[in-house]
Amino acid sequence: MHIYVYLVFCFLGCSALSQDQLDSIFSRLWELDKKGMEPYLDEQQPMKDTRLHKNKAPNVVPERFFSSINFDQLKRKKTIAVPPLLRHVIAFINLMDNYHMVLGIDETTTPEENVEINSFLEEVMKTEVMRETFRFLKSHGLTKSSELQFKEELRSLWFLYYRRKSSRDSSAFEHVFVGEIRDGEVSGYHNWIKFAMDEKEHKINYREYIKQVCGNRPSVISLIFRMRTGALKPFGSMFIGTSPELEMALYTVAFLSGVKNQRVKLGTCNAGITCHKLRYNMMGSCFVQT
């Protein structure tokens, strides 16, 4: 079932959208998510723009970037009493411990984890951001499904396992939002919520280089960091303060547009989105760039 749905999704998304169409939908989604997660992100520490020299990288150990996020509230497993605007975020956080970051270890999905994936997709499909994404894709012939079928297409696009180092050790969701480790190097890992969680749990030892764009409280950052295990992220980038559904929506549209590298205007922010396609038109990665 998943393979069939994914192939339909892919074939419908082979032709690229125009730049005007992309600008329009990206701006629309950005506006719908204007506040994003900022009400729950109490403070970001000011960051230093530490320049890397050609032959010498600095060893900077700044204060934590995220000084205060109410993870005790956001990590609750039962979402019945949680405000509707937070349920999709909690459902997203519940997915973070379902994966082995080290490539080469085949992933397995337990019945409980399947429930968590389904819960996340159901909550995401209730948001105006993802509903607008569905309407846009359908109006441009990139999906002909109902909203219910579109949810299954998202499941196949983002959660279907494929091979990077072993037969079932990766997925688009794991790579983009959770991150992976291969031969001592971090790949993917483009989500600020995951980064903030790892900071709070002392899984990140230090950052070496940070660049911010789009204001003093940035919407996009690029950085180098090292995990406590020693794995290095030689250069990474991520949105800040955005909701999980906005990032998933932007990357889904970008990937299906067929354009590998594109400049986008998100409010007052000019950034780039890059998507890499693997064999069988699987999503290898999508990420924002400063």
Active site residues: 175, 190, 233
With a CB cutoff of 8 Å and minimum separation 6, the contacts of 161 are: 107, 168, 169, 170, 171
Angle ∠(245,250,254) on CA atoms, nearest 5: 145
Angle ∠(74,98,4) on CA atoms, nearest 5: 115
Taking the C-alpha atoms of residue 290 and residue 288, their distance in angstroms, rounded to an integer, is: 7
Coil/strand/helix, residue 181: strand
- From the CB of residue 77, how many other CB atoms can be counted at a distance below 10 Å? 8
Location of structure tokens 């990139």: 142
Under 8 Å between Cβ of 173 and 155: no
- From the CB of residue 129, how many other CB atoms can be counted at a distance below 10 Å? 25
